[in-house]
Every structure is written in C-alpha cells, then in structure tokens.
Amino acid sequence: MDSQLYTQLLIDEINGDGAIKVGPYRYYLLKREGSIILLPRLDSKYMSHLNTIRELIKKYPTMEDIKILSSNYSFENLYKLLIERINDELNEITGVTFEEDREQLAKLIFWELTGLARIAPFLYPTFIEEIYCDGPNTQIYIRHEDLGIIDTDILITKPELNALINHIEMHKGTNIDLLKGNIESEIRTRDFHSRIIIDLNPLTYKGPYIIIRNLKSKKLSIIDLIKNQTITRDAAAFLILALWFRRNITIAGEVYSGKTTLLNALDHCIPPNYRRVYIEDALESKDMRRTGYKQAFYRAESYSKLMDKRRQLIFTLHRSPDTLILGEILTNDDIETFFYALACGLRGLQTIHAQNIESLINRWIYQAKINTKLLSEIDLIVVMKRDITGKRYVEGIYEVNVNGDEVNYIPIFKRIGGELKKIVDLDQTDLINKISQEIDLDTINKLYSAIITTLSNENISTIETELKHIYNWLRGGAMINEYTNPI
C-alpha cells in the first residue's frame, strides 16, 4: 500500500522544548490565535527509519499471521501478535539497536498497516479523556484532563474512518446495525483501553461521527481531589466514613462534572476485605484484585437486557456484595431497579446525571414515579459541578428527609463563595445517627478525626496503608470493644 498517513505527524516548525513524550509520539500544546491547540507529532528520533517502516508495511500481515488470528481474533491479539513479529524482524535490521526503539517502531508500522496512523497518537496519553471526530475531512478535537475541549491540527479522511469502522466490526464480530446506524465497542491492549462509539447513516447527517473515550486515563486519588480543591478533607472523610459503614452514596452531576472520577477515588478507600460487585457499561473501575481487594465485574448491557427487574435484584443479592457499584444510572427502569435494590438492603456507590439536587429529586418523583417513601433509603447525595473553565468540584453533600409526601434535602456540606463548607454539626446528621446504632458516638468521632489526619498525608501509598490500619482497628477492636491499638 502507498503510505501517506504520516504526513501530518512529521515535525514541522515546532520548537522541540516542552513536549510531552508518550510512546513514539511527542505532544505540543501551543497557543494559536488566542486558543490552545494540541499538535501530536512523530518523535524526531524515528524520522530516519521511515523508509524501513514503509518497507515492512508491505510484508504484514502474513498468511501465517492471518491463520493464527482467524481462530481467536480480537484487536488486542492483532496488536500483540503483529508488534511482536515486527519487533523480532527489526532486531535483525542494522541501525535499530535499542529494544525501546524497536518497540516504538513496531507500533508505528502496526498503525500504518491498519490505516489508523493519524488516530493512533490520541489513544496513548492519559491526559486525553475523549477524542471526537465529527465526520470525514474534519479535524479531530479532544477533551483534555485539565483544559477541557481543545482542537488539534489532525484531519481525518473517510478511508481512515472506514478503516476504524472495519476494525471495530471485526473486533465485535458484528456489522453496524443499518437500522440503528451505530455500533459501540471497547478495544484494549497493553498500552491503552478505549470505548468507541460510531454513529452513521441513517442516524446521522454527514457522518460517521466518532467518540473514543480513554478508559485508561489517569485515575485521581482522593488526595489528588483534595489537592485540586474538588473536595475538602472534612467532606472526603465524611464520605469514607459512610462507605466503611456500608451506607449508600449517590453521585449526581452534569456530563463531565467528575462523577466517575470521584466514584473511583472513593472506591479505592473502601476496605479491601469488602466484597465489591460492579455493574458498568464499560470497565472504568480499577482492577485491584492482585493487591488483595475483593472485586467482581459485570457488564451492565448484559445485566439489563437479559433479565427483568426481579431477576436483576435476585441475581445481585445472590452475588453477596458488601458494596454494589453501579457505574451509571440512566433510564427510568434503572432508577426503579436501583430503589428496589436499596429497599432490599443493597448499599454502595452509583452515579446519575442531574443538573442539581432539585432536578434529581424531581426526576425521581415525577419522571420515574418513585414512591416518596423509598427516598428515605438514600443516605447521601453528592452533587458535582463543572464551571466555565472546566474545573470540576463538589457543589454539596446532602441528606434526604421524607415526611409523608413531603421530600426535603438537607445540605451537610455546601460550596459557598468558592469554598466547600460544613453546614451542620455531623453529630446532628441522619447518617451519624444511623452509624451510632452500630458503634458509640465517641468512637465515631475518633474514627472521623483519624481519617482526616490521614488525609493530610500527601504520600498516597502511605495513606492507603494507614486507612487500612484504621479500619482494621475498627473491625478488630472498636467493634468488639477490644481497644488493642486505640486511635
């Protein structure tokens, strides 16, 4: 094949200083005409090998490669097999001396031969949260972790979009539904994990449109969120305390307000011995099983499509979760199932779209037709916001008070004048009253203070160890009145 795809990725007039290097690429953030633009480029050290790249493109995949892949095809297997094969061949070529260089060149060759060379640079960096393409011959733009949506100078052609569609159809084992006009899939390799949504005719005008979400983007810890002022130590400690006593936390907010980021950060603070069951559209939660955490992951699509509400509840109860983590509650059916789960005693973490606390409660009562009495099962609601600059933060932490048909929300923490402040004494909250039925108030206060002190430590690994120590003291000492290692 004739290779012209790298034309836009070649180093041009850009100054080489200040670039972010990931794999075989460098990324430049520049100001042009008052706006920030991202310029992905080939690392200049690989420029001298472009002829080698183009020669090897003609050789792969071989018939042997196709035979191997035909019995067990996936994008991950294609990526792994071809990069390993090309890497081995590069080992025999003089001039490519370092193992790291061979690895990166093999990646460049892989993307050229798959026809995705100008999409590939956006799949690797963790600072890219989402990638957007609004049709052929349009420029890719991205959502940056700090800067929000910014442009790039990479234009995608129709053949490249078709190549991506073909690979996704092969990976999923099905063609795009011509009636629905879209397909969704995940591709995972050792280097990246992405969820891809492709919309085209008859669903779209002038498509196809593509959204690629980076599921391997940088996961922020609770300490990161405290440092960047998403949440305060006091508020974070309050949420951690709630999770330790298996209370339910619903995280609400608009699109890209940081709901999943907060959920993942809190998830990491749940004690390792708690059995966690996850039900997610895409696996966005961190797999921590190798470090002693008890986790079971289920696909939300299969969970909802293959079972009615009653079977969903029985299914989940029979999986014996200490904490149930629902990646996202979307439909009225999801909401109804969620409240039934709460009524059955299931507790955990979940996210839901809402503009504010008022719109969330109205949606539950008037749109989803949830009986107001069931709202008393809600322990805490955290509302996230995103301002015009893209900064994400906790707007408030609320309790729901139900009195007959009247539903009120009570702010415990509320952002006032740009600062998240404690509004009521925690001893006066329903949450602490519920916990005090399991353990005395003095111990609760000691535990809360100890968590706050621990969150003042900026060493994340140390914090995890200290939180485990505090919880183990609680479980092995305070819960049975044996204060062998008091706080």
Instruction: State the DSSP string of 324-349.
Output: EEEEEE-SHHHHHHHHHHHHTT--EE
Q: How far apart are CA 37 and CA 34, in angstroms?
A: 10
Q: How many residues does the chain have?
A: 487
Question: Both tokens of residue 110?
Answer: 């892989």
Half-sphere exposure of 136 (CA within 13 A, CB side): 14
Half-sphere exposure of 419 (CA within 13 A, CB side): 5
What pLDDT sits at residue 161? Answer: 85
- Assess whether the previous peptide bond of 24 is cis (omega < 30° from 0): no
CB 247 within 8 A of CB 347: yes
H/E stretch holding 241 reads helix 233-244
* C-alpha radius of gyration, the chain, whole number: 25
Residues contacting residue 161 through CB under 8 Å, at least 6 positions apart:
133, 136, 208, 210
Residue 327 sits at the vertex; the CA angle it makes with 337 and 472, to the nearest 5 degrees, is 100
Amino acid at 337: T
Separation of CA 142 from chain center: 16
Looking at residue 461, what DSSP letter applies?
Answer: H
Residue 59 sits at the vertex; the CA angle it makes with 57 and 61, to the nearest 5 degrees, is 90
Residues contacting residue 441 through CB under 8 Å, at least 6 positions apart:
427, 432
Scanning the structure block, which residue is given the tokens 């990526």? 79
What pLDDT sits at residue 479? Answer: 43
What pLDDT sits at residue 1? Answer: 40
Burial track 232-265 (b if 16+ CB lie within 10 A, e otherwise): bbbbbbbbbbbbbbbbbbbbbbbebbbbbbbbbb
Closest CA to 381 of 402, 410, 407, 405: 410
Find the farthest-apart pair of alpha carbons in the chain and give their distance in angstroms, rounded. 80
Q: How far apart are CA 443 and CA 440, in angstroms?
A: 6
Q: How far apart are CA 279 and CA 289, in angstroms?
A: 16
Question: Both tokens of residue 154?
Answer: 């990479």
- What's the fold here for domain 222-480? Rossmann fold (3.40.50)
What pLDDT sits at residue 376? Answer: 87
Amino acid at 460: I
Whether domain 7-214 has CATH 1.10.10.10: no
CATH 3.30.450.380 segments of the chain: 7-214
Residues contacting residue 438 through CB under 8 Å, at least 6 positions apart:
245, 479
What pLDDT sits at residue 2? Answer: 46
Segments of the chain with pLDDT less than 70: 1-18, 58, 60-63, 65, 69-71, 93-97, 171-181, 217-218, 281-288, 291-292, 299-315, 317-318, 320, 458-465, 473-487
What pLDDT sits at residue 77? Answer: 83
Q: Are strands 35-42 and 148-156 parallel, antiparallel or unpaired?
A: parallel
Q: How far apart are CA 487 and CA 484, in angstroms?
A: 10
CB 313 within 8 A of CB 321: no
Q: How far apart are CA 24 and CA 36, in angstroms?
A: 23
How confident is the model over 357-414, as pLDDT tens digits? 999 999 999 988 988 888 888 999 999 998 887 789 999 999 999 887 788 899 999 9
